[in-house]
Structure 1
Amino acid sequence: MAPAIVRKAPYKDFLQPALHRRFSSTATILLALSYLQAIFLSGWGSCEYPVPCKLRSSWLTLLDFWTWFPIGPAGIRTLFLFICGLSIIVLRISQYHIGVRASNSTFHAFTKYFFSIQTVETWIFYSFSSTLFAFIYIWAVPETANLGLIAYHSGDRARLNERALFFFCYMAVSAVVQSLFHFHYDEDKIIIDASRRENGDSKSTGDTSATLKNVVSEIPAILSQAVQRALTDILVCFLAYFLFLRSWTWGWALVFLRPFYNLPKTNMLPPGQPADVYLVWRCFSAGFLLYIMWKTANHAFSTFMVKEPLKNGKPLTSESKDPNGSLLSGLKSKKSQIRCFALWELAYIARNDPARRKAIYEDIDRKDGSTWSQIHLLCLDVVKNMEKRIDDYGKPVAVPPPPAAPEEIRNRSSAPLKEDAIFQSKPANKTMRGEVEKALSSVGRHPGHSPVSQLSPSAKKMLRGARDKVLSKEQQEALSSPQIKSQFQTWALKVVSSEPCGGVFRQDFRKRLTAVILGTPYSELSQYVNATEVLSLFLVNSLQEDKFGNVHRDVANVIRAFTTIIAKIEAFKANFPIHWTDIEQKKDTPEVDAVIDALKTGLAQVVAEFEPYSSDLRLSRADIRLAKEAAAKQPRALPEMQQTS
């Protein structure tokens, strides 16, 4: 009987359940927040004024059974509020990416990424959340708030309520503003913590309680930003509504509501102004609660998603029937998210799991080679990608020529067409005027050729004489190409130096260098740091744990590769030019420095352990000397990676 074939479960089969658990944790926080907001809104049902505690104190509100009992109006309101926050989580799941968005400047990011389907999706989800929240809020407030779409005046005749239109416009403005902030700050990014402690261990991010404390600690910042943006949206709404949207929204609202209500046939705007102190308070309170929901959803999702790839304190693939095979499938994945989490798990194994390290050393019977040999090649390819980008920088993109179709050569049956004037009865004499006319007429037939270059010496002399008679020397110098370029740069520098508009166009040294070395469209730092640590720690630990002695064959290759990459990155950074719009001219690049520090630390560890065996490893004295020089600089603490939009 043939032995049972063990199925190699792909890495995503273990990663997706972990991500689902993190989604559940985020949803639980949103559900609790929705319940608190539902209780807060329930206290307004019997209030005659917009201040919720005007007629009764907060402790009496809590005694009202139906304001907090989940099975009732509070529970229904909680469900709809939860949908408002859940829609943002769905948006984040569909668009999240590992690493920050790579761009030279804010304007470059706008032109490259703003006009995309992702931006439209962002606006749609925020608009849905804002609209649903607006109806929930109107349902919660008392009738005296006068936020219904239809108002009845004398004679019980229906009238369109402009206060409600202003309120809905405010909620729409909030959705647009939040969508712009979402794009500007690249809220879809997920930053994996690649920082290390002094002893080389990574900071633990797998503890759920610690992650929850991180979310709770951001409550003051969330409240502060919610207040600021709610107030800002009021100012934006006033300008947009009374300058552009009032007549448009009034007319379309009448079009949609006339089939259901007996509204006036005219579209004339009401004489009064809809906004008053009470309406402004209603808008602010609704916007404040909505922004709390949005900010909490985004922050909780980003925080829980970057927990370490662990389950019950062990790597995710520990439950697989073939742990090493599942991990290799993640390292070979074409999706950057899966590949980054697999590298993160492998780095955790290299640091903290001796049993799994030994299993990797001893796993030598695989179709594509031993587990270590595959890990060595995959991680080294990740690190060498930086070297390849440096080598390719500045080179023109090679466009493969289209396959040339075989052309059938035909014999000419007639003379070639003439390009002379067809109405000319006889050949014109080659006068100076005729040559000038011929040169100018050739521009349309031969684009790219300069008309002046086609003139004869006598025609060029006549053209220079006409130029000297019309323009003075000062005017000719002002119109020269270098002079125009210098004047343009002087004017552009004034614009770039202005605040805050100038910062949009500045191409900082940090952003440009990070995009070149860490890659585009997203610069992800952790994969390079983790790949470096995997190679160095597996080599160092192999002296005690690799009983077959297979790892030592790759020591020389890793040492030479690290030495070359460190030298290239440092030389490239030293010679990388500063853009003329970078008025600060700072060369601080914490992301690139973090990669260099990881390479230096790993190289120093490997050289220190294997230098006594250099002759057996076929490492020359020059290799050891160059490696020590490359690893001479002491590693620095990794700063937190910032947004580079």
Structure 2
Amino acid sequence: MAGAPALFLNRHSSAGSVVFGSLAPCQLELMFVLPRPCSCIHVGRRYANPSFIVADFWSWFPIGPAGFRTLLIFSCGLSILILRIAHYHVGLKTTESGLQALGSSLLSPPTYETALWYSISSFLFCSIFLFSMSESSNLHWITYLSGTRARLNERPLFLACYLGVCALFQTITHYKTDIDRLDFEISKHQTRVQQKALGVLPRSFQIVLLQLPGALAQSAQQAVSALLASLFIYYFILRSSAWGWALTFLRPFYSLPKTNIVPATWPTDIYLLVRCIYAGTLMQFVWAAGNTAFSVFMVREPLKNGNPLTSESKDPNGSLLNGLKSKKLSIKSFAMWELALIARDFEVRRQAIFCDIDRKDGPMWSQVYSICMELLKQIETRVDEYGKPPPSAFAQPNPVVETKHRTTAPVRREAIFTKKGETPRLLGGVEKALDQIARTPGSSPVSELSPLAKKTWKDAKDRMLTREQQEALSPEHLRSEFGNWTTSLLRIGYIGRLFRHDFRTRIAGVVLGTPYAEPTLYTNAAQALCLLAVHSLAEDQFGNVHRDVPSIIRTLTAVIRKVEGLYQRFPLHWTDPSGTKESPEVDEILDALRTGLEQVVAQFEPYSSDLRLSLGDVRLAKEAIVKPEREAPAPKEKELVVKPKTIDEKNVEPSRNRREFKPQMEQAR
């Protein structure tokens, strides 16, 4: 039906908003990317010459060169919007570590498609920027230094390579920060004080405008970082090849030298570096504005003209069911969001759900109840399966194997090395050790020492090393030092992201599933189910809802208790340096479940006997509503190794004198 795609793609207003949000920064950039001045205008006579007034008018008039440059700059952002539409997703990535995410990204074709689109965008922006520069900037591809012989200018070549590095950095940032994710809670991140200053504008425009200053600052920071990397990459890797390719492309159009010798002088000076940062900041800002506009405008409430999105469909309930039954997580999440809004704010649509009893697959309420309960029971199933071995790991009866006759001779037990006469003692000891290792790989010659030899070794160690040195070289101390060094290494930003197993993503993957965990799908399902049950007391004419109320109460109670129990016993990984058990996604689900359960219990507790709810069910539900205080995790749950004590904390015995007289040794002698 046509209603299901409309649940996500509404949208005439959303598309226009995204386009407007991307076009506005392009118009702002025309204030900074100056048009090429006319060479016939003299600066000293700019106000006396009427031709300058005409040229200055066409420099900003939208129907002309300025409008053409606006469209070209807009195409840089449009390519990013096409990329976002192709690769958007909802939900938090629940990969175990950053190293696994990096491996999956490097093996995924969309990663290279993302890099390609950013490279195309940077190429278009580079062409526009170089075309807009004046003659004095010395940023044209061909220069004529002496006479009429053309020379390739390396300055725009470095600028082009720099913008290419910016595209590479933006691709890394794109996947590091998961820009493709649509965050349904983005509107809650802005404070009310900030939104009061922009109260005239729609809420989505307010969010975009409030995020643009931070996006501009981040763009400047990324531009500087990319410049530092470009200086190294260009001069040590790309210079010779980029110079050769540029000559190859330009030779058919200009009379350039036949040799590809790189110039002896470097093209970078302070003016070029400043222009690089200037161009990189503007280009990064176009990308940031496009990404921000898409992420904000595409997660607006599924409403149109103040009504649910499916209200204009010929079959509103059928279109809503198609969205709820969709296999695509994004469409299902938007449909569940719309159902939650209907259950909260729209009485007419609620009554339509209660009164729609003649559907092919059952009454509308029964189908909505089944879909929401299935989502909540999925959480319960995942929690129950946590910690259990996979089905393939269960012990299976060993098949009876028939004994086969030996086809080869048994392993020989005689010496491996052939003895030819008398073997020197040292060489003989080496042969004996190799022979022992070959026959018994798990043992070592030291383990075969006699008790007297071991005692002699211990006494020698006591004579040569002090007590502190022996403790410092003990396996336990070395293992502890290695663990502490590893923990310090994991606190470093980029290294820690690769190997860290965060508590947040691990428990979200267990409770909400993999590879993406979208908490709003489950919170909206719980909210819609509970609010429909509460409003059914006054709006359900056929009395179909009250029969499912006991199952709703028992299911919510069981899910809350099991998720809370998992939260308490879920261990911290030793690579997680935070040491805290925090997961906003799981906390959000628990809060929604408790709120919905509290509403249902408060409304239906007087009818508990008629609903066949026992006193135990009501008591357990009230206990689940109360939020428990979570205890701090024990250190042994987080760290596999114990931090070693310092020397001052230990009761160290006085160091022994190496020539100390020992009567026990004299007696042994």
Q: Is 1:159 equivalent to 2:151 in the alignment?
A: yes
CA offset digits 1:327-368 (Å, max 9, x no partner): 111111110011000000100100011111111111112222
What CA deviation, in whole Å up to 9, does each residue of 1:200-233 have, x standing for no partner? xxx9xxx982211221222322322222222232
C-alpha separation in 1, matches of 2:509 and 2:401: 48
- Is the CA contact 1:234–1:284 (under 8 Å) kept in the aligned structure 2? yes
User: For residues 196 and 551 of structure 1, do their structure 2 counterparts lie closer, same or farther at Cα, with a shift above 3 Å needed?
Assistant: farther
Q: Which amino acid aligns with 1:417?
A: T
Measure, in 1, the Cα distance between the counterparts of 2:626 and 2:20.
49
Partner of 2:182: 190
Q: For residues 563 and 55 of structure 1, what CA distance do their matches in structure 2 show?
A: 79
Match of 1:573 in 2: 567
Q: Which residue pairs with 1:5 in the alignment?
A: none
Q: Residue 151 of structure 2: SS of its match in structure 1?
A: strand
How many Å separate the matches in 2 of 1:510 and 1:137?
44
Structure of greater relative contact order (alpha carbons < 8 Å, 6+ residues apart): 1
Aligned twin of 2:333: 340
Which amino acid in 2 is paired with 1:416?
T
Match of 2:610 in 1: 616
Match among 293, 304, 311 for residue 311 of structure 1: 304
- Correspondence for 2:580: 586
Q: What amino acid sits opposite 1:332 in the alignment?
A: K
2:409 corresponds to: 418
| Equivalence for 1:110 | 102
Deviation at 1:108, TM superposition (A): 4.4
Check 1:423–1:119 CA distance in 2 against 1; reply closer, same or farther (3 A cut): same
Q: RMSD over aligned Cα, in angstroms?
A: 4.0
**C-alpha displacement of 1:139:** 1.3
Among the aligned pairs, what percent are the same residue? 45
Look up the match of 1:226: 219
The answer (yes or no) to whether the contact 1:19–1:305 under 8 Å persists in 2 is no
- The one-letter amino acid of 1:161's match is N
Q: Distance in 2 between matches of 1:93 and 1:61?
A: 43
Where does residue 325 of structure 1 map in the other structure?
318
Residue of structure 2 equivalent to 1:99 = 91
Residue 479 (structure 1) shift: 9.8
In 1, Cα distance between equivalents of 2:62 and 2:377: 57
Pick one of 280, 294, 315 that aligns with 1:301. 294
Q: Give the distance between the partners of 1:61 and 1:127, measured in 2 at CA.
A: 38
Q: Give 2:518's match in structure 1, choosing from 524, 530, 537.
A: 524
Supply the distance in 2 between the matched residues of 1:272 and 1:389 (Cα, whole angstroms). 64
- 2:659 corresponds to which residue? none
CA offsets per residue over residues 382-426 of structure 1, 9 Å max, x none?
A: 12222222222233333499xxxx9999x98x86233446999xx
- Give the C-alpha shift of residue 502 in structure 1: 4.2
| Alignment equivalent of 2:554, drawn from 560, 563, 567 | 560
Q: Secondary structure at the match of 2:259?
A: coil
CA distance in 2, matches of 1:344, 1:54: 64
- Distance 1:622-1:547 versus aligned 2 partners, 3 A rule: same
Paired residue type of 1:23 = A
Whole-Å separation in 1 of the counterparts to 2:457 and 2:3: 76
Q: Of 8, 19, 23, which aligns to 1:31?
A: 23
User: How far apart are 1:290 and its partner, in Å?
Assistant: 1.0
Task: Letter of the 1:176 partner, please give it.
Answer: L
Q: Which runs of 5+ in 1 are unaligned?
A: 1-8, 198-202, 425-432, 444-449, 636-645
Q: CA deviation at 1:529?
A: 0.8
Which is worse superposed, 175-184 or 299-308?
175-184
Report the equivalent of 2:484.
490
Task: Give the TM-score normalised by the residue count of structure 1.
Answer: 0.82
Gaps of 5+ in 2: 190-194, 416-429, 630-669
Which structure is larger by alpha-carbon Rg, 1 or 2?
2
Where 1:156 maps in the other structure, the secondary structure is coil
Q: Is the CA contact (8 Å cut-off) linking 2:187 and 2:207 kept in structure 1?
A: no
Verify: 1:395 aligned to 2:423, yes or no: no
Question: Match for 1:193: what amino acid?
Answer: E
| Residue 377 (str. 1) matches residue 370 (str. 2) | yes
| 1:270 aligned to which of 258, 263, 272 | 263
Distance 1:523 1:53 in 2: 65
Match of 1:3 in 2: none
Quote how far apart the aligned CAs of 1:156 are.
1.6
- Aligned equivalent of 1:149: 141
How far has the Cα of 1:460 moved from its partner?
Answer: 7.9
* Contact 2:472–2:478, Cα closer than 8 Å, also in 1: yes
For 1:399 and 1:607, the matched residues in 2 are separated by 42
What is the CA-CA distance between 1:499 and the residue it aligns to? 5.8
Q: Distance in 2 between matches of 1:488 and 1:543?
A: 64
- The 1:27–1:196 alpha-carbon spacing in structure 2 relative to 1, beyond 3 Å, is closer
Mapped partners of 2:119, 2:160: distance in 1: 11
- Superposed, 1:466-505 pairs within 5 Å as 485-498=479-492, 501-502=495-496, 505=499
Q: How does 1:538-549 map to 2 (within 5 A)?
A: 538-549=532-543
Contact 1:173 1:233 in 2 (8 A): yes
Q: Distance in 2 between matches of 1:47 and 1:349?
A: 65
- 8 Å CA contact 1:47, 1:55 repeated in 2: no
Change (3 A) 1:301 1:269: same
Equivalent-residue separation in structure 2 for 1:589 and 1:357 (angstroms):
33
Q: Matched residues in 1 for 2:44 and 2:477: separation? A: 69
Return the offset for 1:84.
Answer: 0.6
Alpha-carbon distance in 2 for matches of 1:163, 1:552? 76
Spell out, residue by residue over 1:235-271, the C-alpha distance to the aligned partner (whole angstroms, 9 max, x if none).
Answer: 2222222233222322332333344433323332212
2-side partners of 1:343 and 1:62: how far apart?
58
Counterpart Cα distance in 2 of 1:441 and 1:634? 60
Alpha-carbon distance between aligned partners in 2 of 1:19 and 1:396, rounded to the nearest angstrom: 46
Contact 1:194 1:526 in 2 (8 A): no
Look up the match of 2:37. 45
Residue of structure 1 in register with 2:345 after alignment? 352
Q: Give the Å deviation of 1:277.
A: 2.7
Alignment CA distance shift 1:150-1:399 (3 Å) = farther
Report the secondary structure of 1:218's partner residue. helix
TM-score (norm 2): 0.79
Tell me which residue corresponds to 1:6: none
Asked whether the 8 Å contact 1:62–1:68 carries over to 2, the reply is: no
Q: 2:162 aligns with which of 149, 170, 181?
A: 170
Q: Secondary structure in 1 aligned to 2:7? A: helix
CA contact under 8 A between 2:3 and 2:313: conserved in structure 1?
no
Report if aligned partners of 2:375, 2:522 keep a CA contact under 8 Å in 1: yes
CA contact (8 A) 1:194 1:530 kept: no
Provide the C-alpha distance between the structure 2 equivalents of 1:388 and 1:290, rounded to a whole number of angstroms: 48
Contact 2:22 2:77 in 1 (8 A): yes
